[in-house]
Amino acid sequence: MADHSAHAGHGEHHIVPKRVYFLVFTALIVLTWVTAWVSTVELGALNTVVALSIAIVKASLVILFFMHVFYGTRLTKLIVGAGLFWLILLLFIAMFDYWTRTWVGVPGR
């Protein structure tokens, strides 16, 4: 593995201290109850923004710490990033059709 030897350090298993897990766990629980509570407060369109933002923060915490991506190799980060990027491509490009369907003002165009 001559050309990998430079990255060999990444492959050593990095043991994450337990403290990190408990901190992340606490944050996740708090955020869960915050998002549940916020949904009962009238914020108009902001409700959606808040709910999704909190979900993204929670998911990031899980990915980075529970799933060790924070300590992972560049390649792991690249793969995760690619997955999310493609998901966004799928959602946004397809939604673009739906967003622009009324622009021409002719049914079916």
Partner 1 sequence: MEPRSFQLFPDAASSIAGQVDSLYAFFVLVSAFFSLLIAFLVIFFAYKFRFRPGIIPAGNTDDGHSVGGMILEIVWSVIPLGLSMIMFAWGASIYFTESRPPADSMEIFITGKRWMWKVQHMEGAREINELHVPMNRNIKLTMTSEDVIHDFSIPAFRTKADVLPGKYTTEWFQPTKPGAYHIFCAEYCGTKHSGMVGTVYVLNQQDYQDWLARGSGEGSMAEQGQALFNQLGCGNCHPSLVNNYNGRAPNLAGIYNNKVTLKDGTATRADEAYIRESVLFPQAKIVAGYDDIMPTFSGLISEEGMLKLIEYVKSLSPQVNSAESAPSKPVTDAAAEQKAGRNPVNPAGKK
Partner 2 sequence: MDSTVETVIPAEAHHDSSAVRHHFSTAEQQKDSATIGMWTFLVTEIMFFGGLFLAYFVYRQAYPAAFASASSKTNLAIGAFNTTVLICSSLTMALGVYFASIGKKKLLILFLVLTLLAGGAFLGVKAFEYHDKWVHHEVPGAHFDCEGCADPGHASLFFALYFGMTGLHASHMIVGFVILVILIFQASKGRYTPEWYTPVEMFGLYWHFVDIVWIFLFPLLYLIDRTKERLF
Partner 3 sequence: MITATAPAKTEVNYLNCEHGLKSWLLTGDHKRIAVMYLIVVTVFFFMGGLYAAGIRLELATPAGDLFDSNTYNKVFTMHGVLMIFFFLIPSIPATLGNFLIPLMVGAKDLAFPKINLLSLYIYAVGACFTLWALISGGVDTGWTFYTPFSSSYSNGYVITVGLGIFINGFSSILTGLNFIVTIHRMRSPGLKWFRLPLFVWAHYATSIIMILGTPVIAVTLFLLVLERGLHIGFFDPAYGGDPVLFQHMFWFYSHPAVYIMILPSMGVISEVISTFSSKKPFGYTFIAFSSVAIAVFGFLVWGHHLFVASQSTYAGLVFSILSYIVAIPSAIKVFNWTATMYNGRVRLTTPMLYALGFIGLFTIGGLTGLFLASMGLDVHLTDTYFVVAHFHYVMVGGAILGYLAGIHFWWPKMFGVMYPETPSKISAWLVFLGFNLTFFPQFILGYMGMPRRYHIYPPEFQVFNVLSSAGASILGIGFLLPAIYLTWSLKYGKPAGPNPWGSTTLEWQTASPPPPTNFDVTPVITKEAYDYSHEEVLDIG
Residues that bind partner 2 in the complex, under the rule CB under 8 A: 1, 4, 8, 11-13, 15-16, 18, 21-22, 25, 28-29, 32-33, 35-42, 47-48, 51-52, 54-55, 58-59, 62-63, 65-67, 72-73, 75-76, 79-80, 82-84, 86-87, 90-91, 94-95, 98
Q: In sequence order, what are the residues at sequence separation of 6 or more whose Cβ sits closer than 8 angstroms to the Cβ of residue 77?
A: 69
- Tell whether residue 108 is a contact of partner 1 (CB under 8 A): yes
Q: What is the DSSP string of 28-77?
A: HHHHHHHHHHHTTS--TTHHHHHHHHHHHHHHHHIIIIIT-GGGS-HHHH
User: Closest by alpha carbon to 70, among 29, 1, 33, 21?
Assistant: 21
Stretch that binds partner 1, among 33-41, 57-65, 81-89, 101-109 (CB under 8 A): 101-109
Q: Which is nearer to partner 2, 19 or 109 (CB)?
A: 19
User: Which residue among 52, 82, 84, 88 contacts partner 3 (CB under 8 A)?
Assistant: 82
Residue pair 62/23 in contact (Cβ under 8 Å)? The answer is no
Residue pair 42/104 in contact (Cβ under 8 Å)? The answer is no
Q: Which residues of this chain interact with partner 3, rule CB under 8 A? A: 1-4, 75, 82-83, 86, 89-90, 93-94, 96-101, 103-104, 108-109
